[in-house]
Chain A
């Protein structure tokens, strides 16, 4: 029977090409609008480090102003002071730990006419690379010992390696940054977590830096922090760089890797003990407020999805509703037009259930067609979004459809078509046999 109904559905769709096209188009446009925004939102709220979500934790301690929470309601600062970052890192209580900040260096390529250029970079520690599963094309990150000895080593990105070394294996080669010589220990493969979970402060959708060097080297060399610095308490006057490092200004991000809930528990106790100890020294005037957030919690906390996207999502869902109302109207029109057929079938003995099945299958077919066309519409919609945001380099990462989105588009289209078909089909099934035949 199913195949017979498929055939009937196909014939019926072909018999009313205009109505059928309108229905498919209405569903496709509604699905297209909805899925465009859903796709962007899906990518924006994605978790690029999901496979390590239960072992990675962002560390926060609350060293802020006793009279003024860093952010209401009583949230601790999102970054850390140098004193705390250094102490917690050097304590080494986690399986892995890393502290980092955004910086910039001027690269001086070899050769007389090569012009020096500025490179966005990140000061971090050895554990950064294994913790975040950074892929390497050549070599690897530096050893923990390089952090301790302030060795001038760097990891560069694939693109930068193309630019400087023509894409060769450059491990062991040297590079001049601000008149100092550094040795390459590794070349990263393409690595582009979206959002850039490990540092959500500036633009969470920007690409990662192409240049990494040890945190200790950057601090010793007074490299500028190009990310955010916030202070609630003035830095001691005349104390210079030392004074800044000893201040309550926050500018460093810290992550730890803890392999089990027990380890997490232990680390939390360690943090509490650390803060209590600092309180005795007159620091940390606020109540104990330490946080360990996994990447998913941290991104949720920091609201990485823009409000505008949520507004658009609401609009898109309503848009789909309008398209469905349209489809219901068209289906009703079609059902009325076929009332005589239906009446005849009922008179010849088809049960209501059979009629229902027949019409629902037909609606499902329209849904599939609408879904497939809807995928094309979504693609168009995403190109539109890309075009509107063309000034942002990172937009290309947000407008990609993956298979889960394609599947969702089809499923949503079929469900929409079935929902739209319910009322018209119910009306059809209630047609009394023979009444429609009287006119004949």
Chain B
């Protein structure tokens, strides 16, 4: 084809073409890395928390009378909650996945204060915890009511039995094969915990924590004036029951206030707000950037057509078809785009390496690069189509005029 002449003609006006190629390259570097971040965040946001998010909500009961009998209030509340028609189950606990606040402990394989081997989120629950969170017990068993103890302060020894997540088991006992049931580890220096059950998945309350899949249920009811109830309803009845239960508990005792009645879905939204925002901002940036680069191509191509009006007229007069003229500009743009995307590919990888090191992002997937190349080729061809069309309309007669 006419690649040779087109290439030699381009060399006559290196500056403009180089600029466009450079612009395409930088655009591609940004595009590829933005998409890599968007992908990473989408994967992160799609992780399930392990609980029945759609039908679960929580609320706080805060007692403010100094002589409040905390234990019987909690017992009455739970009794009341579990009897409400439409409530599947309820539990008094300290936190739940996606809440962004909770309790964590460092764990040891051997007794005695030493270097900890792992850490885990702690959920204090009674025997209804497993069912309220709707967890998938894959090994062992749930707590029996006798195993659940009352604790007036954080200072008493903790119960000796726990239910852990599969991920915590793998982290605590990396060399162990088979069941984690029956294994023992230690809180702090000498507080042993015996694994009686393993659940498939239960996230810690902190979505941004690297150990988010490590958590455990501890069979302890805490005597406190600050209690969080988590309630799971039958499918579809969450919203109506939320206000009903808020009213019910507010009426049942005047010595406390009920607040923060909120769904787990809302907590999920808040947990991932930063990630969702990052996705929105980067999507906007990439779209805007593509448009700007497209406009730049249109601008330079129009200019190039205007400058070569006479030359195009002469070519038309000498027998070049309209398609031939259009093809000329298309091929010219294709060459520029190719230089741009190849340089862009190198820039993108370099930028990714910098970002992985500086901001601990995960490296991008390889296919983003060819995908971005194709997109920018297409954008270039679309952008140049208009000016090329105009060029093809130049009348051969123009060759006879002096400009």
**Chain A positions near chain B (C-beta within 8 angstroms):** 19, 22, 26, 29, 33, 65, 67-68, 104-106, 108, 115-118, 178-180, 224, 231-241, 243-244, 306-308, 310-312, 314-316, 318-319, 321-323, 325-326, 328-330, 332-333, 336-337, 384-385, 388-389, 391-392, 423, 427, 439
Distance A392 CA – B271 CA, assembled complex (angstroms): 11
Interface 9-mer from B60-68, B234-242, B381-389: B60-68
CB within 8 Å of A: which B104-130 residues: 106, 113-116
- Quote the shortest CB–CB distance from A423 to chain B (angstroms): 7
Distance A426 CA – B382 CA, assembled complex (angstroms): 32
What does DSSP make chain A's interface, helix, strand, loop or mixed?
Answer: helix
Distance A224 CA – B63 CA, assembled complex (angstroms): 12
Q: Which residues of B contact A315 (CB under 8 A)?
A: 30, 33-34, 282, 285
A233–B270 touching, CB < 8 Å = no
Partner of B64, one of A116, A328, A330: A116
Q: Which residues of A contact B402 (CB under 8 A)?
A: 439
Q: Which residues of B contact A118 (CB under 8 A)?
A: 62, 257, 259
Partner of A239, one of B20, B155, B270, B299: B155
Distance A105 CA – B65 CA, assembled complex (angstroms): 11
- Quote the shortest CB–CB distance from B383 to chain A (angstroms): 12
B189–A234 touching, CB < 8 Å = yes
A308–B20 touching, CB < 8 Å = no
B26–A234 touching, CB < 8 Å = no
Distance A232 CA – B66 CA, assembled complex (angstroms): 31
- Quote the shortest CB–CB distance from B64 to chain A (angstroms): 4
Q: Which residues of A contact B278 (CB under 8 A)?
A: 308, 312
Q: Which residues of B contact A318 (CB under 8 A)?
A: 26, 29-30
Distance A391 CA – B269 CA, assembled complex (angstroms): 9
Interface-centre pick from A116, A234, A307, A323 (highest chain B CB count, 10 A): A234
How many residue pairs link A and B with beta carbons under 8 A? The number is: 152
Partner of B188, one of A33, A234, A323: A234
- Quote the shortest CB–CB distance from B153 to chain A (angstroms): 5
Binary contact track B262-292/A, C-beta < 8 Å → 1, others 0: 0000000110011011101110110011001
Distance A108 CA – B259 CA, assembled complex (angstroms): 15
Distance A235 CA – B285 CA, assembled complex (angstroms): 52
Q: Which residues of B contact A232 (CB under 8 A)?
A: 106, 113
Q: Which residues of A contact B226 (CB under 8 A)?
A: 224
B154–A391 touching, CB < 8 Å = no
CB nearest neighbor in A for B354: A314
B37–A388 touching, CB < 8 Å = no
B156–A322 touching, CB < 8 Å = no
Binary contact track B146-190/A, C-beta < 8 Å → 1, others 0: 000000111111000000000000000000000000000001111
- Quote the shortest CB–CB distance from B358 to chain A (angstroms): 8
A388–B155 touching, CB < 8 Å = no
User: Does chain A have a CB within 8 A of B307?
Assistant: yes
User: Does chain A have a CB within 8 A of B296?
Assistant: yes
Partner of B299, one of A22, A243, A244, A316: A22
- Quote the shortest CB–CB distance from B333 to chain A (angstroms): 14
B269–A117 touching, CB < 8 Å = no
User: Does chain A have a CB within 8 A of B39?
Assistant: no
4 closest residue pairs by CB, A with B = A106-B64, A234-B188, A333-B303, A325-B23
A384–B284 touching, CB < 8 Å = yes
Distance A427 CA – B65 CA, assembled complex (angstroms): 82
Q: Which residues of B contact A237 (CB under 8 A)?
A: 155-157
B273–A392 touching, CB < 8 Å = yes
Q: Which residues of B contact A234 (CB under 8 A)?
A: 187-191
Q: Which residues of A contact B300 (CB under 8 A)?
A: 329, 333
